[in-house]
Amino acid sequence: MTPHTPCKSLIKKMVRAVRRGVKIRVISNYAEVIDTLNILGFYAKKWPASNLMHSKLVIIDNQIVVSGSHNFTGNAFTSNLETSNIFNDEKTAKTFSDFFKNLW
C-alpha cells in the first residue's frame, strides 16, 4: 500500500477541480508531464526556452498565491528543506498573474 503524501492529495484535488470545470494552466519542462496533464483536461504546454523553468507558482481565484522552491513531488512535501510563501490578497495575486501571463 502506497503511503498518503501531500503531493498525491494535491494532484487528486487538482484533477477533481479540472473535472468540475476549473481551468488549470501549467508550464513544464517535460513533454510527458504535459501530455498526461492535457489528457486529464489541464491546459499544459512546454516551456519554450533553453533554460530550465524552475518557478513554482499557484494562483487560486485571483486571490491566493503560493510561490516557492518546491517541486510537486513526495520528497518536496515530506523530506526536502523547501521554502514557500502564501499570499492572500488581490494585488499580489494580480502581480503574479501578470507574470504568469507573460510566460504563457
* Within-domain flag for 43: yes
Mean pLDDT of the chain: 87
Rounded to two decimals, what is the model's pTM?
0.77
Q: How far apart are CA 78 and CA 43, in angstroms?
A: 27
53, 81 in Cβ contact below 8 A?
A: no
Domain annotation covers residue 1: no
**Residue 64 pLDDT exceeds 80:** yes
CATH of the domain at 16: 3.30.870.10
Boundaries of domain holding 58: 6-103
**Tens-place pLDDT, residues 1-26:** 455 566 778 788 889 999 999 999 99
Nearest to 27 by CA among 3, 6, 48, 2: 48
**Count of domains forming the chain:** 1
At CA 43, angle to CA 71 and CA 30, rounded to 5? Answer: 45
Nearest residue to 71 (alpha-carbon basis) of 13, 29, 16, 42: 29
CB contact set of 22 (below 8 Å; sequence gap of 6+): none
